[in-house]
C-alpha cells in the first residue's frame, strides 16, 4: 500500500497517510475539520529490495543460462578419462615402479 501526502488549504496542515490505492481521496482535514484537504502529487517511491536473495544473477536470460551450462559441462572430466586414469594407475602399481628405499 502506498503512502500519500495531504495538505489542508485552510490551515496548512501537512501529513502522510498510508492507504490502499482503491481507497477514496480524503477531503476532511483532521486538524481543522474543513473540507479543504488536497492530495499532493508526490515523486512516488522506487522499488526497494530488502533482505537476502536479491541478486543480479537471479534473473539471467535463457541464452546466458544455456551458455553457462555448456561451459560447466565441458569443464567436467569425462567418465572415459577417469577410467583410463584408473587403469594407468593400476598398471603402474602392478609393475612395481614405486620408489621405496
- Give per-10-residue mean pLDDT for the chain (101 aa): 88 90 91 93 67 67 84 74 61 57 47
Helix residue ranges per DSSP H, the chain: 62-75, 79-95
Q: What was the pLDDT predicted at 67?
A: 87
The SS3 assignment for 95 reads helix
Q: What was the pLDDT predicted at 37?
A: 94
Q: Where are the domains of the chain?
A: 3-39
Q: What was the pLDDT predicted at 34?
A: 93
Q: What was the pLDDT predicted at 101?
A: 47
The upper half-sphere exposure of residue 83, i.e. CA atoms within 13 Å in the direction of its Cβ, equals 3
Q: What was the pLDDT predicted at 11?
A: 94
Amino acid at each position: 500500500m502506498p503512502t500519500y501526502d495531504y495538505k489542508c488549504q485552510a490551515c496548512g496542515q501537512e501529513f502522510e497517510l498510508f492507504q490502499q490505492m482503491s481507497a477514496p481521496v480524503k477531503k476532511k482535514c483532521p486538524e481543522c475539520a474543513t473540507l479543504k484537504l488536497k492530495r499532493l502529487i508526490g515523486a512516488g517511491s522506487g522499488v526497494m529490495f530488502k533482505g537476502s536473495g536479491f541478486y543480479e544473477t537471479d534473473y539471467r536470460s535463457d541464452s546466458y543460462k544455456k551458455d553457462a551450462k555448456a561451459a560447466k559441462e565441458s569443464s567436467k572430466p569425462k567418465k572415459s578419462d577417469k577410467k583410463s586414469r584408473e587403469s594407468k594407475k593400476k598398471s603402474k602399481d602392478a609393475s612395481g615402479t614405486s620408489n621405496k628405499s
